[in-house]
Structure 1
Amino acid sequence: MSAKVPEKILANTFIGKRITITQSMNQFAFKLLKVFCSRHQSDSRNMCFSPLEVFNSYVMLLIGSKGITETQLEDMLCLKNFNNPKRYKELMELRKWIIKSNHEIMVYGTVIYVDRKLQMQPDYLEKVKNMFEIKPKPVDFTKIDECVNLINKEAKAMTDGLIEGVIHQKDLQEEKEIKLIISNAVFFRGYWLFKFGYHRYYYDDYLRADTVSVAYASSDIRMVIILPKSINDEAIYLVDLLDAERLSKLFWQLQHSPKSLTELTIPRFALDAHKVSLQKSVQQMGSTSIYDRDQAELGGICANDRLHLTKLVHKAFILVDERGSQTPSIKVWYQN
């Protein structure tokens, strides 16, 4: 899916040698996609995940990181020199626009659960409040049943009841001395603006693929379908050809192509919400110290304990039918 970003956000594409947050998100999305596909293409022909959520969740860790961990996260997220007020403001404006322009069809929520004995850094609390409008919830992780019920209940509520059981008792039992859990969810339910009729179509010679942009009602978000010209072509080859710049050019072509009567047949389909661990993919992208108890530098998050990331679980699915599509997803992070 894509979204038309206002010119004021895209203005000054390069400020000095710095790229915009929007560009960083796109570049990160393709880095993750390529690594994710290389690791999981043999597992299933269908893959579904939300790079936007992964990006935002890692930013929550980036703003509390230092040293080698900060450097690795910035490289992975394509966010050079991110930890400064101007960059924070840029991310806040983009996030507010995404939520405001799609408030009728999108629900986005993040909850940070922290050990009640953890002393959070005041500066970190202020940052997550201003940037993500959240306040960490103190919990007692020794009461496993209560924690599991609370996290699953709130995850279910954030995804309109479509995603359940994101965390189980054994998940907490396997992790010793859990100090912090980040649960991140987005629920998107879009209805087609035109169930029948005119859509924007473009044939891309480089990709050897037909592309079509399908609009949603009450939203700037579009579903972009890329269909290889030959039915024998594996879609995975598109991953090798696509990157953030190529996709931006493709979106531009679609946006400026005239609407035309398009014969478009989309079967009803649903990709199930399988849990996927992203730890190895993230480490392959260069962010390794954050998972190392001795190397992780997250002192900007808490003052009285040393944190490191132990697990990242992602769960997403998409449903497309004659009315539209819905895409709930959830992510759970464990920090010891």
Structure 2
Amino acid sequence: MRWILVAVVVLAATVREAMPQCLTDEDRIKILGVNQELHEVVDFGFELYKELELGPATSFLATGRNLFFSPYSVWSAFVLAYFGSGGKTEAELESALGMVDKINTLTKLRALELTYDLRRSTGSSYTFNLANRIYIDAASPVRDCIKNILFREIAETDFRNTFKAANDINDFVSETTQGRIPRMLEESDLKDAQMVLVNAAFFKGIWKYNFLSNNTFLAPFRTDPYLSFLEETGKPLNVAEMVSMMNQTGSFKYGDSKDLEAQILELPYEGGAMSMFLLLPGEEGPSGFGRTVASLSSASLSKAMRTMKPNTVNVQLPRFNMSVELIDELEAALKNLGIRSVFDPEHANFSSFAPTPRMSVSKAVHKAFIEVNEEGSEAAAATVIAVNIRTRPTPPVSFVCDRPFIFFIYDNDTENILFLGVFRNHREAL
């Protein structure tokens, strides 16, 4: 794994302390506790994924497209909108995000921020940066208490100068993503804008047990289970159906979940805090894939993970990179989840941000990029399963991703899904 990153034109937040009459009737609430129970974050991510994958207005499954996004990034973005919301808008966000109240949410978000800050300060073996910014038009002054709460995120700008505003936003995203997303918005996107909510995330990790490049080989990828192959050879009739398949046999945590109707495998990154998990539906084709998607929840995933055990596994995984942009699909999916009024100038209520009427989110853009390859540390290159030669070795379990599969980047400590994707169209991933 080399690079993964995402940017969202919505929002996300960190908070030091709440000031009077912003989030609570109390004068001051200090955020001291740490709460890492994140099942509602995972469930929101899965529900959003299901809408993108299966929803009639989006349906990545039906159209055969790859998908990659950061559910945590989208969740944290709309959590920031939640802090500034009121009335019906607040109720919709609270329900869709699985929140109890703003103070509880504030505590959770702050605890996550502190977790990642501490890891960076102690020299973690991976890089994960999450940067957030709320651009509000200078003509719509932000309430002082919100400025105190979101002191790192609030930025006032002059949206009448769309050229400068767009450049400032694009520079912010480019810097956070180390140039992988150099341009997020065009000037035209800022026409009549009053508030632009930006979130950018960046991840870089190295496999704990890397794939050796000389073990990578060309292999068929069966996007369509009924694709015609040459008899006996197993090779597709069209060479365009071939992928560069990474290959290794080693000791990995593996399970076969009846609830998910899929095999599940963990590929850890160096340091152990982060892993990529792979889900390979048991039945080939759209119907089997759809059943696995429909079964995803924090509870079913947690149950599947508890049954995983170390096993000798032959892993075959395509080498790929993927770039995905969500605009209309994201808005349609969010509306199907009940987040509607934030996009409606007549009904959006962001009175906690500023008293300006008719302030709404005019556009949500999510751009994501991932590259998966053989790279890993040199020390891990020779790491394989040790087999006792005095006993008959157990044949390895096969985990061959030669057909559509789901993958996600998982924080093992906070039990949080940071990035989630589907590889099904190898032509899009070259």
Q: TM-score, normalised by structure 1?
A: 0.82
Aligned-pair identity in percent equals: 24
Once the two structures are superposed, residues 5-64 of structure 1 have per-residue CA deviations (whole angstroms, 9 ceiling, x without a partner) of: xxx745xxxxxxxxx4x0110111111111111223234431111110110011101011
Q: 1:276 to 1:237 in 2, by over 3 A?
A: farther
Give the match's secondary structure for 1:224. strand
Q: 2:159 and 2:195 mapped to 1: Cα distance?
A: 9
Equivalent residue letter for 2:65: R
Deviations 1:99-123 (A, max 9, x none): 5346541111112222122210122
1:242-269 C-alpha deviation (Å, 9 max, x unpaired): 2221012122223xx2x23321111101
CA contact (8 A) 1:155 1:163 kept: yes
**Structure 1 residue aligned with 2:188:** 170
Give the direction of change, closer, same or farther, for the CA distance of 1:210–1:135 in structure 2 (3 Å limit). Answer: closer
Give yes or no for the alignment of 1:33 onto 2:52: no
- Retained in 1: the 8 A contact 2:261–2:292? no
Matched with 1:91 is 109
Instruction: Report the alpha carbon displacement of residue 305 of structure 1 after superposing the two structures with TM.
Output: 4.6
**SS class of match (2:149):** helix
CA contact (8 A) 2:35 2:107 kept: no
Residue among 268, 271, 274 paired with 1:215: 268
Q: What corresponds to 2:4 in structure 1? A: none
Q: Is the 8 A contact 1:101 1:219 kept in 2?
A: no
Given residue 89 of structure 1, which amino acid in structure 2 is its aligned partner? T
SS in structure 2 at match of 1:110: strand
Q: 1:47 to 1:87 in 2, by over 3 A?
A: closer
Larger fraction in helix: 1
Name the CA distance, whole Å, in 2 between partners of 1:283 and 1:250.
30
Q: Which of 298, 307, 313 is matched with 1:253 structurally?
A: 307
Are residues 124 and 231 of structure 1, via their aligned partners in 2, closer, same or farther at CA, if it must alter by over 3 Å? same
| Unaligned ranges ≥5, structure 2 | 2-33, 211-247, 377-406, 410-417, 420-430
1:232–1:31 Cα change, 3 Å: closer
User: Of the two, which has the highest radius of gyration?
Assistant: 2
Matched, 1:76 2:91: no
Asked whether the equivalents of residues 99 and 108 of structure 1 are also in contact (C-alpha less than 8 Å), the reply is: no
Matched letter for residue 183 of structure 1: V
Paired residues in the alignment total 301
- AA aligned to 1:120 is V
1:287 corresponds to 2:307: no
Report SS of the residue matched to 1:265. Answer: strand
Question: For 2:197, which of 163, 173, 182 is the aligned residue?
Answer: 182
The verdict on how the C-alpha distance between 1:229 and 1:187 changes in structure 2, with shifts beyond 3 A counting, is same
Partner of 2:79: 59
Q: Provide, for residues 116-157 of structure 1, a one-character-per-residue CA deviation record: whole Å limited to 9, x for no partner.
A: 22210122122223xxxx242222211122122221122111
User: How has the CA–CA distance of structure 1 residues 201 and 235 changed in structure 2, closer, same or farther, with 3 Å as cutoff?
Assistant: same
What residue in structure 2 maps to residue 191 of structure 1?
A: 206
- Structure 2 residue matching 1:310: 3-state secondary structure: coil
Cα distance in 1 for partners of 2:80, 2:280 equals 35
SS in 1 for 2:338: coil
| 3-state secondary structure, aligned to 1:70 | helix
CA positional deviation for 1:304: 4.2
| TM-score of the pair, normalised by structure 2 | 0.65
Q: What whole-Å deviation, never above 9, does each CA across 1:272-311 have from its counterpart, x for those lacking one?
A: 2324331121111112222222221110001345411221
* Distance in structure 1 (CA, Å) of the matches to 2:304 and 2:144: 44
What is the identity, as a one-letter code, of the residue corresponding to 1:310? S
RMSD between superposed Cα atoms in Å? 2.5
Alignment partners' CA distance in 1, 2:324 and 2:112: 27
The reply to whether residue 322 of structure 1 matches residue 374 of structure 2 is yes
Distance in 2 separating the partners of 1:62 and 1:54: 12
